[in-house]
Chain A
Amino acid sequence: MQILKNKTNIDFISKRKPALFLSTLLNLAIIVGIAAFGFNFGVDFAGGTVVEVKFDHPITAEEVRERADKGGLPDVSVQNIGAAEENTFLLRMGGVTQLNEESGAKGKAALEALGGVRNVYSDLPNGIIRFRAAQPMDSDAVTKAVESAGIGVQEVRDLGEAQGGTGYDYQVVASGMADRVFAALNAGLEKPDFEQRRVDYVGPQVGKQLRNRGIMALLYSMVAILIYVAFRFDFKFGPGALVAMVHDVIMVAGYYLVSRREFNLTAIAALLTVVGYSVNDTIVIYDRIREDMAKFQGKPFAEVINIAINDTLGRTILTSGTTALSLIGLLIFGVGEIFDFAMAMLVGIVVGVYSTIYIASPLTIWLDERAAAKEARQRASGNVDHQQPNAA
């Protein structure tokens, strides 16, 4: 069996200018779009809390949102994941504990109203309110006071009599956002009609760190690949491979931008995989160009590239086809980020093939032409390098 019965001789290269123009336009649009709208950053990068719940009866996202709203959580975003009959939802909100500056101030006021309480301060990152009281306190009363300020209390810790100074030290540990979500969904029910499937908290600090590391990883691997290509092939192949990589990464980023799917660590993994795949494809064709350059000496470079692309066309279709085939399972069974990963890969495969033909190769031609033109200019001005008279 054969996909391409006869040897093809499609003139890919002649259409390189309009293609390059279109790609540049598309890439610029995506970059502008990212600058203007930004990604839908997931909890990995933005920080916050995400919980996944699965209900044991049919329910719509709208109903879930209403329940959260009634339970006192108006800012929760609700998203249906997987098939509708699975009744599975992702609930997302900012912050990891119920203690924030606003509620902390309220909690402080409520505690002070109990009398004899001093040195109240909130330890926001840890979700703890610390205070010292003149007399031993009843933990139930403390819980009540703090809860009246709208902060869920997980525990009141009695640290005993203070060592330096007089008084008794206490800590109130606020419960996390996830608890509050479950409480809100549960409000008015005898027993929960849903299952807690997943809880993710990411602190804002960590989110920033994860994002920076992800972007660094992307940059490092691009540079490393560029160096490898420049050494293994010729310098003139390097920039083409790099620009093709950048193109593919931008296009896949465009998928996340346009689809508004969550941009998270898995998305970075997808971008990196696309880099790997794109360069794999570019290298296979570069290899053939190099081989054909030796075979068809004297033919114009652009023509050699066209032959090489046509020679490897069968392989290109087959490989991208089978790789896409292997993604089908992930597209069918993958939910959430795995589905997005597979989709991003699919986009990556398509643009990877395109960029090899219309970006990597034309850039190589352009660099080659420039080098030739420079040499011609030098020769015309009589400034020929006489030590290498055969250089051409």
Chain B
Amino acid sequence: MDRGWWWKFGLIVAVTLGSIWFLIPTYYSLVVLDRDQRNNLAVLEERMPSWAPPAKYRLNLGLDLQGGIHMVMRVDTKTALQKRTERRAQQIVNYINDKKLGEVTADTDPEKLEVTLTAKDPATMDAIQKEVLATFTDFKEVSRSGASLVLVQDESQANVFRTEAVDQAMLVIRRRIDKWGVAEVDVRKLGADSIQISLPGRSNAEQAKELVGTTAQLEFRMVDDTNPQFFAQLLQATPPPAGSEITLTTEGGFPQLQAPTREAIIEYTKDKVPENRVVLTECIANPVKKNECTSYRSYLLDKNVPLTGESLASADANISQLNEPEVNISFDPAGAREFERLTEQGVGRRMAIVLDENVQTAPNINEKISGGSARITMGRMGGRTFEEWLGEAQTLALVLKAGALPAPVTVGEIRQVGASLGDELIRKGGMAAVLGLGLVILFMAIYYKASGLIADLALLLNGLLILAGLAFFNATLTLPGIAGFVLTLGVAVDANVLINERIREELGHGKTARAAVDQGYDRAFWTIFDSHVTALISAFILFFTGTGPVRGFATTLIIGLLASLFTSITVTRVIMTYFVHGRNAKVVSV
């Protein structure tokens, strides 16, 4: 046995033990934990031994195997862009009026996203053209003839806007689902204009569709601070029910209720607030996982909604001259008038910005704001870095835009699998895999005898490696994934068949056991390599072009093929070499 052999042997042992180690979180999450705790990483981490890998390296079950809802929402960026064009056209007209450059009318073409400006007096057009193009830099000139000027949105600007529209929609969906209180939800972008949402364990597709499929509602409401001690008094007068975990907290001098769930606060304050008042909550974000709320804080607000997102013209995050992040917002003319009235009456009070009934922020009104543009400065909050602080401002700007320029979302697809069906499928899928594997193992052992047993060992290791590989990449096992698992074993068997047939052939030519094994492996190597590489090519293409179940299938196939290359070429050879070189066996049982 030369040194190279020992190295390979050590590698195989290490890989095997490593795979078993990597499957510990999977074992705990699927076998040890109760089914409703299955997706709870914190519980999983707690139950596992300390030497186990981190809980996130576990094999997830696809929604088809554990029940849940998968949905794809499409963001209608085209409509959003049309709306933006109309809004900008109105702003251009207002600008020309304000600057007294002349009198114009604007007409928009929703298809081409063009704005046609027509001046009453053709003589004013030159000045208008110059001013407008210099100010509204997101537009370019298309053509000019006499008194009319055609403008179009700059394509790169439009693309920025499209991306933003999808980001906004994603943010709104995330916050809504959060309101629903679903743990382990996964929201991500899919392609250029779609958002994919996974809700494990949920079963009401209608409710889910309704929840994420509506347009964002942005409102500006005054905070009722006439009685700053309202919540403190309320808590004293009627103690909250046991177990609701409602406590009193003080933020900026105002006592507020705080609870781990939104429902607890809403339920508790129901029917306990004066008429014309309403209690809404703010999410206190988890500092580590931004999309989760650790708790909720209450606000007492005026029931009346004086201003909505429809009046908002723009919102942008900036860094002020004092080097502080801020959000600049501006309103359309009607909105500006209302905003001026509100701020005039409300100096010293707070104005809450509410998206989908969730309070986003409630800045203080320092002075009357006229002219339709305002600045929300992000108050210095303890213990935050500048980046976090800036991020906060950017999120707020995104929230404001999502309410102001809502891009409609439509249901692309919903797939919902009941939990009982999921359990049945995993049972049947598991049986199918075990039966398939069992038959192949039995056949190989009978047909190739000792060599068949070696191949079987490699097959089992192959199965182990696939599971560990899926766990390592935190991949999701789906029903087509199980099919991919079975198919991979078929390809792995082919490799072993190729090798063993070659060895038989070489033995048939009268070669010694040692030479037959060596030559068998050498000759079969390139064939196995070629066949695996071609299968890998199609698996990778499947992975990059496919979605959902197809992707799950491709993932399993890729990991399986790589594992098969290792087990069929290296593992079986090391064992065979041990017998014919180490033990000097004269016959090969094949």
Contacts and interface: CB of A to CB of B under 8 A. Distances in A.
Interface of A: 1-2, 52, 54, 96, 123, 125-128, 154-155, 157, 159-160, 163-164, 173, 175-176, 178-179, 195-203, 205-206, 210, 213-214, 216-217, 220-221, 224-225, 228-229, 232, 265-266, 268-269, 272-273, 275-277, 279-280, 283-284, 287-288, 291, 311-312, 314-315, 318-319, 321-323, 325-330, 332-335, 338, 341-342, 345
B483 A173 contact: no
B436 A327 contact: yes
A322 B433 contact: no
Interface in B410-426: 410-418, 420-421
A199 B414 contact: yes
A228 B531 CA distance: 11
Interface of B: 72, 74, 76, 203, 205-206, 209-210, 213-214, 217, 305, 307-308, 310-311, 334, 408-418, 420-421, 428-429, 431-437, 439-440, 443-444, 446-449, 479-480, 482-484, 486-487, 489-491, 493-494, 497-498, 501, 504-505, 523, 526-527, 530-531, 533-535, 537-539, 541-542, 545-550, 553, 557
Given A269-B480, A322-B497, A280 B545 contact: no
Given A327-B436, A334-B428, 16 more contacts: A1-B449, A96-B411, A96-B414, A125-B410, A202-B412, A225-B538, A228-B533, A276-B539, A276-B557, A279-B531, A283-B527, A284-B494, A284-B530, A318-B501, A330-B486, A338-B483
B498 A329 contact: no
Nearest to B310: A163
Contact of A269 (B217, B416, B498, B542): B542
14 contacts: A54-B421, A126-B410, A128-B214, A157-B214, A201-B414, A214-B550, A225-B538, A280-B491, A322-B440, A323-B493, A326-B487, A329-B433, A333-B435, A338-B432
A154 B206 contact: yes
Nearest to A125: B410
Contacts of A224: 537-538, 541
A332 B449 CA distance: 28
The 6 closest A-B pairs by CB, nearest first: A329-B432, A323-B490, A329-B435, A217-B545, A329-B436, A326-B436
A269 B490 CA distance: 16
A220 B541 contact: yes
A345 B213 CA distance: 39
A319 B547 CA distance: 30
B420 A319 contact: no
Given A201-B205, A221-B542, A338-B479, A126 B537 contact: no
Contacts of B541: 217, 220-221, 224, 272
B337 to A, nearest CB: 12
B205 to A, nearest CB: 5
B205 A176 contact: yes
Given A206-B412, A206-B413, A323-B490, A160 B305 contact: yes
A277 B531 CA distance: 9
A224 B539 CA distance: 11
A197 B417 contact: yes
Nearest to A128: B214
Contacts of B429: 333-334, 338
A201 B408 contact: no
B379 to A, nearest CB: 29
Interface of B is mostly: helix
A54 B415 CA distance: 17
A30 B449 CA distance: 44
Contacts of A232: 530
Contacts of A269: 480, 483, 542, 546, 549-550, 553
A199 B415 contact: yes
Nearest to A233: B530
Contact of B535 (A96, A280, A288, A330): A280
A272 B542 contact: yes
A342 B482 CA distance: 11
Given A200-B416, A276-B535, A319 B493 contact: yes
Nearest to A88: B421
A197 B420 contact: yes
B459 to A, nearest CB: 10
Nearest to A323: B490
B412 A205 contact: yes
B545 A220 contact: yes
Contacts of A314: 501
A276 B435 contact: no
Nearest to B530: A283
B543 to A, nearest CB: 9
B196 to A, nearest CB: 11
Nearest to B534: A279
A275 B539 CA distance: 10
Contact of B549 (A195, A266, A311, A323): A266
B561 to A, nearest CB: 9
Contacts of B550: 214, 217, 265-266, 268-269
A326 B539 contact: no
Contacts of A328: 435-436, 439
Nearest to B433: A329
Contacts of B305: 160
Nearest to B442: A325
A214 B202 CA distance: 28
A322 B493 contact: yes
B531 A284 contact: yes
A336 B20 CA distance: 33
Contacts of A341: 480, 483
A227 B523 CA distance: 23
Given A213-B546, A269-B542, A325 B483 contact: no
Contacts of A311: 505
B530 to A, nearest CB: 5
Interface centre among B305, B479, B484, B486 (most CB of A within 10 A): B486
B439 A325 contact: yes
Nearest to A287: B527
Given A224-B538, A326-B437, A201 B527 contact: no
A163 B311 contact: yes
Given A269-B542, A315-B497, A201 B413 contact: yes
Q: B72, B490, B504: which has the most chain A beta carbons within 10 Å? A: B490
A322 B443 contact: yes
Contacts of A326: 436-437, 439-440, 486-487, 489-490, 493
A134 to B, nearest CB: 20
Contacts of A228: 533-534, 537
Contact of A225 (B72, B497, B527, B534): B534
A333 B431 contact: yes
Contact of B206 (A179, A214, A323): A179
Contacts of A203: 74, 410-413
A122 B420 CA distance: 37
Nearest to A241: B534
Contact of A273 (B205, B487, B501, B505): B487
A283 to B, nearest CB: 5
A224 B545 CA distance: 14
Contact of A322 (B74, B417, B490, B545): B490
A284 B530 CA distance: 8
